[in-house]
Chains A and B, each alone.
Chain A
């Protein structure tokens, strides 16, 4: 009788898309023949919703290096792995973009870190490994490199291969340059990312009057 769909497990939600009529956009995960597949969906019937969803989908392929599956409505990582945390981040970053600005550009594997006052790079070493590096080796820079490594590990569910060499890797063993570039933008300030996520999820819970601030 209902018109809701069985789309798999909902793994992320943007309650209000501030770039398109405040619709709600969700990311669903389902098991495909070759591993996890992800679907961007909105139940909104507002004119233009399909276009907005297609924009987010396309942005995820560019920013996260994801590829379309089947009819192009669902996405996957080329390696076939889930990369859950990273996938959620790709979706959230895609939803922050305005459709009117056109498709985004992939992020480079380098970012300027204000606290180190220099560029920090993720240098591909093959097999899904990256070495985090900067053009300097003073104490502050080394500290910042550790922070960025930790941020990438947290945001991308990556593993720390060598703390000394600041080497991290995707456990799937495949390179993910676009995804790493995207995560590198947020990695220097991972606490702010987590705080933002917590604030978003805590909204919308009704508390008794006695518990309201």
Chain B
């Protein structure tokens, strides 16, 4: 870990951007590449789901609480994973305040690569333009203080949404060439939406691509996605934070070679083993457990996981994935508090 005593005090934005480049920081940043929205925060700023996923002012208002109330160094307004899929024409179950919108994947919109036509209104559709406008609002209001992180979904996730999980996975087994054609067509969505968010003012982008540890092997990642993810780093000129859920140590070496700025990693991977694999070729963000720790336990358990990550030298600390909407504020506020305390303790020891 760099000696933070020699680093002048930084804003949250400076801290995050430095950590994404593995440069010295005054303290480890607290970063949420995915949502930290909760139902209580929705009440606090009168920004409930589903409006907070569809109206830019409401989206920005809820997202800002990650900084103003929780004390994170980032603001990430794209709570859901369905904005682009909605713009592509997928049917969406918008749900209520207490639940996430989902794509109705049992009603796929494509069957083959030939069906894929990226609509002309991809970036002006309500659910994509909402994100762009929210980023503009946040950049204007908080852009000097914290890093504004956007989100653009990867082609593997989009394929699940547009073709259905089972048909797409079966296709990946039976017809690799066709699978690659589909991914190749869908990557335009990832790039176009990503670039539009840069233009709107994003400082970095989360790129979730759900080649998750439970269904997709490391070998699959290497075969289908590594090259494409490398290409994204050229095509989307901004720090990218790849997000893949689950146990992913079998692909972290491949991921570390893509040029992504960071990998947002899951609590199914130990901080120490993950750091050993990536070898400072990519920053790691995470990996405070959601269901067992943030949702079900108390601040002391949260603190222990934060310390475990910091002890291992993890570059940015945050929840492993979008937190459950019922997570307590007490636990979320403990993350930045624990990071500050860890640094104070380690400075005083040195």
Contacts and interface: CB of A to CB of B under 8 A. Distances in A.
Given A24-B43, A42-B43, A205 B291 contact: yes
A212 B105 contact: yes
B325 interface: yes
B103 A24 contact: no
A201 to B, nearest CB: 7
A161 interface: no
Contact of A206 (B65, B70, B100): B100
Contacts of A22: 48, 96-97
Interface residues of B, number: 50
B77 interface: no
B245 A10 contact: no
Contact of A13 (B81, B97, B245, B326): B326
B98 A204 contact: yes
Interface in A6-42: 6, 9-10, 13, 15-16, 22-24, 26, 42
Contact of B329 (A1, A4, A42, A204): A4
Contacts of A189: none
Contact of A209 (B99, B103, B325, B328): B103
Given A22-B97, A24-B43, A204-B100, A4 B69 contact: yes
Interface string A36-72: 0000001111100000000000000000000000000
A203 interface: yes
B215 interface: yes
Contacts of B42: 24
Nearest to B245: A208
Q: Which of B69, B71, B98, B326 has the most CB of A within 10 A?
A: B326
Nearest to A201: B326
A44 B212 CA distance: 37
B330 A9 contact: yes
B68 interface: yes
B165 A13 contact: no
A4 B98 contact: no
B330 A209 contact: no
Interface in A133-177: none
A209 B81 contact: yes
Interface string A70-85: 0000000000000000
A212 B326 contact: no
A208 B96 CA distance: 19
Interface in B189-243: 210, 212, 214-216
B157 interface: yes
A3 interface: yes
A109 B65 CA distance: 46
Contacts of B325: 15, 203-205
Contacts of B157: 209
A141 B324 CA distance: 43
A45 B46 contact: yes
Contacts of B169: 210
B39 A24 contact: yes
A45 B65 CA distance: 15
Contact of A210 (B212, B291, B324): B212
A162 to B, nearest CB: 34
A204 B214 CA distance: 21
Contacts of A3: 44, 69
B91 to A, nearest CB: 14
A213 to B, nearest CB: 9
A203 B97 CA distance: 10
Contacts of A42: 43
Q: Which of B43, B103, B212 has the most CB of A within 10 A?
A: B43
Given A9-B330, A15-B326, A209 B43 contact: no
A2 B69 contact: yes
Contact of B43 (A10, A23, A210): A23
A206 B321 contact: yes
A211 B97 contact: no
B40 interface: yes
A105 B102 CA distance: 42
B333 interface: yes
B179 interface: no
B290 interface: yes
A45 to B, nearest CB: 6
Contact of A211 (B46, B81, B214, B330): B214
B210 A208 contact: yes
Interface string B228-263: 000000000000000001100000000000000000
8 contacts: A9-B298, A15-B97, A24-B42, A201-B326, A203-B325, A206-B322, A209-B161, A210-B216
Interface of A: 1-4, 6, 9-10, 13, 15-16, 22-24, 26, 42-46, 201, 203-206, 208-212
Given A9-B298, A203-B99, 5 more contacts: A9-B330, A15-B98, A22-B96, A43-B43, A209-B160
Which 10 pairs, one residue from A and one from B, show the smallest C-beta to C-beta distance? A204-B325, A15-B98, A2-B69, A209-B160, A44-B43, A43-B44, A43-B43, A206-B322, A10-B328, A24-B39
